[in-house]
Amino acid sequence: MLTLKILPDFGAYSKGERKERIAKSPNQINGIFQNPVPTTVQDENIDKWKLLRELFRRNTGRVPSHTIPVRQISPEKELIRKNDLKVTWLGHSTLLLEMNGFVVLTDPVFSHRTSPFAFIGTKHFKFSHTFSVTDLPPVDLVLISHDHYDHLDYQTILRLKNKVPHFVMPLGVGAHLERWGVPPGKIKELDWWEDLIINTELKLTATPARHFSARGLTDRFHTLWASFVLEWNGKTIFFGGDSGYHPLFKTIGERFGPFDLCMLECGQFNENWPFIHSMPEETAQACTDLDGKILLPVHWGKFSLSLHHWTEPIERIIKASEKHNYKLVTPQIGESFFAGSDFPKLKWWKND
């Protein structure tokens, strides 16, 4: 008989003071978090067996036919000018943001699979170099948008927990990290529109997103999901996490914009779940709603979590961006650029 080895984070959720704080949140009803607008996770009329068959089909273009060349990064902190924001995309939603010696790491996932199981589930594309925690410069803050496996990775957190002083995430998500041994004093949880200041220079505000949460079979909506506004030294940055298009992008833009950089998802969309992920054309509109100056499309280039060709997200966002006034950047995975001065546009994915 085949025995599935389930990772120890599967479906668990801690109790205590966090539960009381969740109960007081205006964004939940009876402990179940709500989206900013009415949202269904997927089309209720979907043929689930047909969808599964499509997801497991081979040779559909959802996975690159070649090894993706990526640039290796330096584990040393680089001396950069005081007002420069250095950005490095490591694939999917994992980014390094370096601000005057302060390093933020978003949604770090360095495991081979996005799955509660040790040996089955979606595997990342073949890279010429597979990133790990040892590749990173010293990280000052880990920013987590929600608790899905392609954004919150158990094995990666284990490798970071003794190295990083600050972990910031939406309300409820800290229960996972505490259970994995992250000291509670390192964990900061935010409800939508709450903010905090780190090291007197970096202000973080959790803002609404249109998505959902879950790590197990019975814990959907038990933790919050969020986007984040980062304000640092006169620069304003938006990290969208996962989100379908919604009218609060414009509200966020009016309240915090203009944004020097918007990092928004443009992949893993599908007509069967049109409200929890943005179509590339909606991503383009969201950046305009936010009053963004630069758009960095993320949530593509590493995992196949939908049915589209792996390059469709970037090709469609390039075309959609022609109708908007922001600058679109398309860095190679592992390539660093400085927001406001560098605009990488190499079409490195064109081998397929």
Say which CATH number the domain at 188 has: 3.60.15.10
Please give the pLDDT value at position 92. Answer: 98
3-state secondary structure 295-310: EEEECCCCCCCCCCCC
Give phi and psi for 233, each to the nearest 5: 50, 45
Asked if the structure places residue 256 within a domain, the reply is: yes
C-alpha 290, offset from chain centre = 17
For residue 248, tell me if it sits in a domain: yes
Q: What DSSP element (H or E) covers 174?
A: helix 174-179
3-state secondary structure of 255: helix
Is 9 contained in some domain? no
**Domain containing residue 141:** 48-338
Q: What is the DSSP string of 218-231?
A: S-TTSS---EEEEE
Grouping H, G, I as helix, E, B as strand and the rest as coil, residue 92 is: coil
> Is 21 a domain residue?
no
Instruction: Please report which helix (H) or strand (E) contains residue 313, including its range.
Output: helix 312-321
Beta-carbon neighbour count of residue 26 at 10 Å? 9
Residue 199 reports pLDDT greater than 90: no
Whether residue 26 lies inside any domain: the answer is no
Q: For residues 278 and 275, give the distance between their C-alpha atoms in angstroms, rounded to a whole number.
A: 7
- CB contact set of 237 (below 8 Å; sequence gap of 6+): 85, 97, 229, 230, 231, 259, 260, 261, 262, 263, 339
Q: Which tokens is 142 given?
A: 């880990």
Asked whether the predicted pLDDT for residue 296 surpasses 80, the reply is yes
Q: Is residue 349 part of a domain?
A: no
Most confident option among 65-74, 196-205, 283-292: 283-292
Let me know if residue 157 belongs to a domain: yes
Global confidence as pTM: 0.94
Distance of CA 272 to the CA centre of its chain: 21
| pLDDT of the residue at 6 | 65
Cβ atoms 92, 301 nearer than 8 A:
yes
pLDDT confidence tier of residue 1, bands split at 50, 70 and 90: very low
In terms of C-beta density within 10 A (0-12 exposed, 13-18 middle, 19 or more buried), how is residue 217 classed? Answer: exposed
pLDDT given for residue 3 in this prediction: 46
Give, in order, the Cα–Cα distances in Å from 164 to each of 16, 89, 266.
Answer: 25, 19, 29
In the three-class reduction of DSSP (H, G, I as helix; E, B as strand; rest coil), residue 175 is classed as helix
Nearest-angstrom CA–CA distance, 156 and 109:
6
Residue range 69-103, pLDDT digits in tens: 999 998 887 766 667 899 999 999 999 999 988 99
Count: domains in the chain: 1
Residues ≥6 apart with Cβ < 8 Å to 75: 134, 135, 136, 137
| 347 in any annotated domain | no
Per-residue pLDDT tens digits for 203-248: 999 999 999 999 988 999 999 999 999 999 999 999 999 999 999 9
